[in-house]
A and B are shown apart, each in its own frame.
Chain A
Amino acid sequence: MTRGPSTFLAKEARLAFWLMVPTVTVVAAFVVFPVLWNLWLSLKPVTLGDLRGASLFRWNPTLDNFRRVLGDPEFLSVLTTTLLYTVGGSGLSVVLGLAAALLVHGSFPGRSLVRGLFLSPYIAPVVAVTFTWSFILDPQLGVVNALGVQSGVFTQPMAFFSQRWLDLPLGGGVRVRIPLALTSVILFEGWRYFPFAFLFVLARLQSIPEPLYRAASVDGAGPFQRFYHITLPQLASVLYTLFLFRFIWTINKFDDIFLLTRGQAGTKVMTIKVYEYAFGRFDIGAGCAAAMVLFVVLSLFLIAYFRWIVKEV
């Protein structure tokens, strides 16, 4: 009878193995393997023409791809654009999500309808919303430009997604130059991804203990003071976490910019650059190297985030 429990355990482990096999295989084949394969290709001189040759497996490592990527005259501007886009897009989506959650928190007629509506940008397919935005902001056929010119707000139609700079006169001879296409793309990011922050902030708001507010009211704190001294500190940790998640996803994002501007007019971020190397110049090796650089940039941010920002909270 001493073998009883051990065979039972062995049987259990064997069953577990069979239950896990499909998942592990699929994930290994389509996630783990490509990541390793990406690293391998980044160290080899590979072009799209080499895909059928045997050279893919030969051991001839080189750092040429990385030299090309880091030595690219565009590299610094692409990196700056990536950081502006990522910080701007993540920050805006978290701020808008916070604002929307504060508005929807509490009860009013039609609340659940409004809540559902506010989630829709996040649920709708990316191709549909990017094409709709492009159409709305189109310089010739777009409703925003048509109305803007008609009402005299714009002196001429604005090419929101294809004009790099916009000079804005602030009065008194002061002019500011804003990167128009990049700003439009960031506004799109805010619109599409605020529901993510909205959902989590709303859930957190509902769990702030009511007595805190009552105590503050008794002490004479008005609505704004209550927000500043109670709500905001209670939300701080969730806001920092949401920013972190959005940062990771936004820096890795490709679809939105690709569909809105194709990376033109000062919106070329790292992911677009990866695509451009691999499928525009048929330089697969450089594409993979650029993807590795992106990964390193993200890792550096994560290290900095956990060392300096999280400590503050």
Chain B
Amino acid sequence: MNREDLETAGVRLLRVGGLVFFTVLVAFPFYWMIVSSLKSLEEILLQPANLGLDFRRIDGRAYYEVLFEHGFAGYISNSVYVSVATVILAVSLATLGGYAVTRLRFRGRTVMSYGILVVYMFPAIVLVVPLYVVFSRMGLRDSIHVLILVYLAQTLPVALYMLRSYFQNLPVELEYAGLMDGCSRVGVIWRIVIPLSAPALASVALYTFMIAWNEFLFAFMFLDTPEKFTLSRGVVQLAESVHLSKQLVMAASVMVTVPILVLFLFFERQLVRGLTAGAMKG
């Protein structure tokens, strides 16, 4: 065996070992989240070292308690509402704005297309204090709709930027043909640009949904009334109130994680494109 063969064999070994190591490292927390959510409090207290799950003793009570006794049924619907509203608003506004900066001539167009990205260098913690002050003063802070507007502002710049780079590659001749045939600009956007941009719109929608669904800080700072809590806010509330009952916190964590991971599973390609195109804040 010469050196080349030896090294190649070494690399193969390293590679298999590395893949196993990474897979365990990445998957274990998710595995543990699910397994613990199906155990009873007694099991968690008495056998913290038990890595497996006894199928005869699977206990779904944690989910029932979290959903109906700790208000998570309501948090789920709040989270869905906030995320879906953010997606609809962000996609429609970014389509309009993205179209304007790619196709229309106006003063300040370059400033708009890049300047809007600069805003996204500012951290959430810098924005949260002044916004807290203003909305407290106006008495609007504890509102799910203000939260939607905050998420919209967090996602719009990237959404617009992503759509802009996609629109630039659409054939402009089609739009001219539409204009010649008597379509208005808005008609062109609706009938030509939007149908051609379905993949990009899907990426933007998924990216926006993920940001809104996962967001913690603003929901934590703005919402006071439990009826208005989003899931992330609800999980923190739950973790603070049930110190020992880890199975409840894990069941709640599963509830907030599963929808986004399932969505990712089905639309991996679109979401990855969204992540890479806009890079992303996080």
Residues of chain A at the chain B interface (Cβ within 8 Å) = 9, 12-13, 15-17, 19-20, 22-24, 26-27, 29-35, 37-38, 41, 46, 51-52, 56, 99-100, 103-104, 114, 116-129, 131-133, 135-136, 138, 140-143, 145-147, 150, 191, 193, 196, 199-200, 203, 222-224, 245, 248-249, 252-255, 259, 271, 274-275, 278-279, 284, 287-288, 291, 294-295
Contact = CB atoms under 8 A, between A and B. Distances in A.
Nearest to A251: B123
B236 A248 contact: no
B143 to A, nearest CB: 14
A30 B7 contact: no
A294 B133 contact: no
A126 B216 contact: yes
B256 A127 contact: yes
Most A CB within 10 A of own CB, among B25, B51, B106, B264: B106
Given A9-B105, A12-B105, A51 B124 contact: no
Interface string B97-119: 10111001111010010001001
A22 B96 contact: yes
B194 interface: no
A52 B137 contact: yes
B76 interface: no
B38 interface: no
Contacts of A287: 129
Contacts of A37: 130, 133-134
5 contacts: A37-B130, A38-B127, A116-B268, A119-B268, A131-B235
Contact of B112 (A20, A120, A271): A20
A203 B122 contact: no
B152 interface: yes
A46 B8 CA distance: 65
Most B CB within 10 A of own CB, among A20, A122, A143: A20
A128 B235 contact: yes
B282 A122 contact: yes
A117 B216 contact: no
B29 interface: yes
In the A-B complex, the 9 residue pairs with the closest CB atoms: A252-B123, A30-B153, A146-B49, A128-B253, A146-B48, A19-B100, A37-B130, A34-B130, A16-B104
B84 interface: no
A150 B133 CA distance: 51
Contacts of A23: 93-94, 96-97, 116, 156, 160
A222 B250 contact: no
Interface stretch (B16-24, B59-67, B170-178): B16-24
Contacts of B101: 20
Interface string B195-237: 0000000000000001001101100010000000001100110
A304 to B, nearest CB: 17
Contact of A118 (B26, B116, B150, B235): B26
A123 B23 contact: no
B249 interface: yes
B57 interface: no
Contacts of B105: 9, 12-13, 16
Contact of B232 (A31, A100, A125, A249): A125
Contacts of B127: 30-31, 34-35, 38
A103 B18 CA distance: 7
Most A CB within 10 A of own CB, among B44, B99, B246, B276: B246
A41 B129 CA distance: 10
A223 B231 CA distance: 48
Given A123-B260, A143-B48, A146-B49, A291 B93 contact: no
A141 B45 contact: yes
Contacts of A17: 106
Contacts of A140: 48
Contact of B49 (A22, A147, A245): A147
A180 B268 CA distance: 36
Given A23-B116, A123-B271, A135 B246 contact: yes
A8 B83 CA distance: 39
A125 B252 CA distance: 12
B265 A15 contact: no
A19 B96 contact: yes
B153 A132 contact: no
B93 A26 contact: yes
A249 B124 CA distance: 10
Contacts of A126: 214, 216, 232
B148 to A, nearest CB: 10
Contact of A252 (B124, B156, B257): B124
A254 B124 contact: yes
A185 B131 CA distance: 28
B236 A114 contact: no
A145 B48 CA distance: 9
Contacts of B244: 141
Interface in B126-157: 126-127, 129-134, 136-137, 149-150, 152-154, 156-157
A109 B25 CA distance: 20
A27 B124 contact: no
